[in-house]
Structure 1
Amino acid sequence: MSGPQRYPGASTAYWYGSKYPGSAMESNVIVWHTTEGTSLPDYSGGSVAPNFTARPNFAARRLEWFQHFDFDVSSRALVNAPGGVETNTLNVCQIEIIGTCDPTTHGKWKTAGYAHLYTPELPDWAIRDLAAFAKWAHDNHGVPLESGLTFKAYPGSYGTSNGVRMSFSAWNGFKGHCGHQHVPENLHGDPGALPIAAILTAAKGGTIPSQEDDMPTANEVAKAVLTYDGVIAVPGAPTTNPTWTLSSVQTEILKRLDKANVTLAAQKATIDELVKAVATLAAGVGNLDPAAIVRELTAAIESIDIHLDVPNT
């Protein structure tokens, strides 16, 4: 376990290394996965977790990283059948990308307006951040910025006879970047047609190919923000509070704005009454200029910034 074990900036809020210590090794292979969901999985309490999860932040146009195990410690996202070859413990570091490689799922989510990552059509910023991780793994752990494999589109990538899954001997000698679809003893076809060439080119310092990356609509951004922590229902993705919808959130915001307007109106009425009272008082005191006092008091009041705290409930 040489080199730094934590990826800079990655959150350890979902750390499973204490619960599942794993095997120490010198990782020289990156295995890419897709979660086939839109939120951060709990990976059955960590029992099937990878080393890292990359979650898209669509508003900020970047990936957020979560680390579950040290870089050079085996994780648990691959099947390892009895006999045959080792998978999780054969010097591999595993990354799950939150998103889908399935064109059917992509179509459903797109129709529903859910912002999500679809691996065959990753935006430039996602390629950039995946490349940054690949470069870090190369610079600090010597993982080759090479693949030499075809990342086949899903669903053709599924199954043992998908045409790209490695033999035992090929797997034992492999170094570099591969996908779940390439690992023997496994059936999964993720991450589908991941643009691995673009990722590795960017990691080597090359340019990221320009893509048609339409800006999300306001509706898509709103749904992405709400889905970020699982507050609205997404097809195939469990949520913690399925009662929140776009319309209910909008209604709640309008209710809070109404409360703010009422509070401000009450404060203005109080200030108006105060000005009148001072004017009346000044009029009854000799040798004073009531108009001057009112002007000065009004100017002083107008110079005050009123900060309104809208209650959360």
Structure 2
Amino acid sequence: MKRYFGIIVVIALVIVAAVASHRTASARATEAERDADFRRIQSVYLERVGWMRTNPDEASYKDELKSFFKAYFDDVEAHLDRFNGNKKFDGYLAELEQRAESGGEKKDNRATDRKAFYEYARKQFDALHEGRYRPVLSATDKGMRLDIVSNDVVMVMGKPQIRLQLVLWGAQRVEKDEGKVKKMVTSAAFDTVWKLTDAKGKLLGEMRGGDPSMKIDYPERLIAGFPPQMLLGHYDLDLLPAEVTKLEMTINVASHAASGGNANATYTWKLDVPSEWKLGANETWEGATQEERPEEEIDPAKASAKKGE
């Protein structure tokens, strides 16, 4: 009987091992299927997005935004239903919490910053997901589209600022394998100029800026369902002198392709300056410096007079 008992135990262990092996293989197969399905969704998106990036008509582009993103997020929702995914899209926060719990004495000094970047991206993600994405300005050049999502006055460290919220579609990027970690490297360098003029076109001031604040060039790292190949960020500008009536904004974006080419895009808008963007009549423009410019560059009337001579 003891001999039979030994045989039964061995058979039982073999069965348990076989079941465990089957479950592991099944889990791996499901994971592979899930990853393949998500790559399919991204592939379909990238096939469709070309028109959205290059449509030269701003009005029709804005009209198509809601249906375009609805199709994408319908696919994402179906994917999450099929594979029991996280519909709260907060996996990155759970990852941060897990790091904090397992870190021991090694505290992540950037945990607060990482959470802030997530919240920043999440705000834009929710607008896209819920059909509320409607930029105030948009332009396309060199296959990239730049949206000014909003231009509200907000308080920044107790000071009113004009916040220009940006979304750039289609900057060139490449995935690099760095050992155990895969890293997405996005190429997008900004160079921005704001020219301030009065009602007669006389140049009153000029501001320059580089890359936007809170630049997030791979939001899918923070929120897996974020539409691919977007870049987020914003500029905060001081309120403008009271006499300024026009603002010309030129945003240059340079993006280098992995194949060696360069896309140098330029987006220009000429805007009327609303009253809420201006300082009071007796307030001074802080941080301004003086520099000499040719007279004809400052005053277009004098430039025209010179041409007529």
TM-score by length of 2: 0.19
TM-score by length of 1: 0.18
Q: Which has the larger radius of gyration?
A: 1
* Greater relative CO, 1 or 2 (CA 8 Å, sep 6+): 1
Q: Choose between structure 1 and 2: higher strand proportion.
A: 2
